Chains A and B, each alone.
Chain A
């Protein structure tokens, strides 16, 4: 940034961090990354501009930026714009059936590894990709399907009809084709597997 910082212990580092935080390029980056993570792989430019503005106006107050994201109509679009990362898919599956994983290795680490997201092993220092194209690999999708089928065999709830569960989990996002596929399933676990693998449930 073309500035020199005199030595002064920790204060020197704080001065560098303050200037980095106040840099408009930091605002660009944070606004874009937030919009990509929460809204869409290719987020609406108007949304990014509003988040950037909130960052700069508030002097980098992330709570205010988050509030701007919550206020943005783009964040509430009824069409889910993000394909779930393996971790999100796994966690939302457990939540859908109200089960807590019992054993971390077979219940969490093994499936995430098969889906291409071994915990704490992001291939790059900047973390996991936030783009659908990096997660919808043919093999990883087959692994999701295999896992969902076994998961459904183990956890399909006996008390809730699959159709009701679909409505409760997906709300207005449940589409007629998915509703129909779940209704036509031969068994309860099959119905749950289809719900978990439906295009709606695979996205958020």
Chain B
């Protein structure tokens, strides 16, 4: 891992277990082996995790511009975010002016960035990279299910924890053996529909799959209608969808994990800078995080939000005012359960010699290290399960300490 002279963040640069980590790990293991993990469960039972998948490769260098890096402005030209337009993060990184909520949270110690993270393989295809981000494999096609679903399986050995995705279908990150709920706007209950639903539930009684799926779907829809006072949300209403997701999480006996997807980050042309295409998508991301905080209410204090993308974009602006598929990007962490701290991971710098394949921001941190650190310290997933089942063959990407 590169240590830049600009940033030295020893706590994040190694995967060694802290004393606290060791204690937690040891405690978790012995509880499982000897007795019911009542203590461990009560400590993490109310914890909430939200993962926002930013699809299309979000440009980290615009989300959190490295304003202290001397090469940033010249590499980025017209799409650089001028330092005086950024929102304050620290002396070396700003935040895009549309990330208003994130900036306010960061000022309160409730948001941090990891400025140079990447998936374990160097891939430039959206599909394959999203697969790897979501299936948690060491190799492409290394796993057919999603890592969050396998985390659910690992947790539910001890206690009941459920998950929900916003969208008609569960994305890969949540697919797998553990059943998960999904919800998307557009359902509407009318008296006619209620009669059809009742008749169908009778009709599906002997159908192994349809019966339970419809029952769960109807229950979820009824819950969501309660949250939104019967109003139908628009599919592009990022804040509204996030508020609904958050209310699912905050409800009594609600799920512990939610997944949302935002798309439109593939800015090959006319990316824009302070305003424009990418600015609007970052605005949607900010609104999503703001909606989560609103909807969670007091549960925000027990929440970690992770916004991750499949890969970053080229360090240079291209000929069409955009950027092409790159390597490392920025991950944003937020939530009241987050430990305050500086940037997560090292900054490789944008010096020409440091660029990956002479074109991309080089990764200094494996996305799995962040995911594993959060799953272990926030949701209480056993380290042994993390290494083998949740993220297969991931010993070389140890969980990051001190995130939660």
A contacts, CB < 8 Å to B: 83, 113-116, 123-125, 132-143, 145-146, 148-149, 153, 177-178, 181, 184-187, 189-190, 193-194, 197-199, 202
Shortest A194–chain B CB gap in Å is 6
Q: Which residues in B have their C-beta under 8 angstroms from that of A140?
A: 168-169, 182, 217
- Those of B182-197 within 8 Å (CB) of chain A: 182-184, 186-188, 190, 192-193, 195-197
Asked if B182 and A141 sit within 8 Å, CB to CB, the answer is no
CB distance from A136 to the nearest CB of B (A): 5
Q: Give the contact-size bracket for chain B.
A: 35 or more
Question: Is residue B252 within 8 Å, beta carbon to beta carbon, of the partner chain?
Answer: no
Q: Does B83 contact A (CB under 8 A)?
A: no
Q: Is the CB of A114 within 8 A of B168?
A: yes
The 5 closest A-B pairs by CB, nearest first: A138-B217, A116-B168, A142-B217, A116-B169, A138-B216
In B214-232, the 8 Å CB interface with A consists of 214-218, 220-221
> Using Cβ atoms and an 8 Å threshold, which residues of chain A touch B84?
none
Interface hit among B113-121, B198-206, B269-277: B198-206
Closest chain-B Cβ to A147's Cβ sits at a distance in Å of 9
With A114-B184, A139-B182 already in contact, the answer to whether A145 and B210 are too (CB < 8 A) is no
| CB-defined A-B contacts under 8 Å, sample of 7 | A114-B168, A116-B168, A116-B169, A138-B216, A139-B169, A142-B220, A149-B192
**Contacts A138-B181, A146-B187 supplied; 17 other A-B pairs, CB < 8 Å:** A135-B169, A137-B217, A139-B184, A139-B187, A140-B168, A141-B214, A142-B217, A143-B184, A143-B187, A145-B214, A146-B193, A178-B203, A181-B202, A185-B199, A190-B195, A190-B196, A199-B207
User: Cβ of B170 < 8 Å from any Cβ of A?
Assistant: yes
Cβ B127 vs Cβ A124 within 8 A: yes
**Residues of chain B from 107 to 138 with CB closer than 8 A to chain A in the complex:** 127, 131
Q: Are B221 and A142 in contact (CB under 8 A)?
A: yes
A residues in contact with B188, CB < 8 Å: 146
Q: Which residues of A contact B203 (CB under 8 A)?
A: 177-178, 181, 194, 197-199
Of B202, B206, B213, which is within 8 A of A137 by CB?
Answer: B213
State A124–B202 Cα separation when bound (angstroms): 36
CB distance from B233 to the nearest CB of A (A): 13
Please give me the residue from chain A that is nearest to B221 by CB atom: A142
A145–B193 touching, CB < 8 Å: yes
Shortest Cβ distance from A187 into B: residue? B192
- A137-B170 in contact (CB<8A): yes
Whether the Cβ atoms of B170 and A199 lie closer than 8 Å is no
The contact of A197 among B168, B192, B196, B218, by CB within 8 Å, is B196
CB-based nearest A residue for B168: A116
* Interface mask (B8-47 → A, CB under 8 Å = 1, otherwise 0): 0000000000000000000000000000000000000000
* Residues of B with C-beta under 8 A to A149: 190, 192-193, 196
- Name, among B168, B190, B195, B214, the residue most crowded by chain A CB atoms within 10 Å (CB to CB): B168
| A114 vs B186: C-alpha distance when bound (angstroms) | 8
Nearest CB of A to B383, in Å:
31
In the complex, what residue of chain B is closest to A152 when comparing beta carbons? B196
Cross-chain contact of A194 among B127, B190, B200 (Cβ < 8 A): B200
Contacting residues, chain A, for B202 (C-beta < 8 A): 177, 181
Chain B residues near A115 (CB-CB < 8 A): 168
Give A197 to B213 CA distance when docked, in angstroms: 13
Partner of B214, one of A132, A142, A153, A185: A142
**B contact residues around A135 at 8 Å (CB):** 169
Given known contacts A149-B192, A190-B192, A194-B196, is B213 in contact with A141 (CB within 8 Å)? Answer: yes
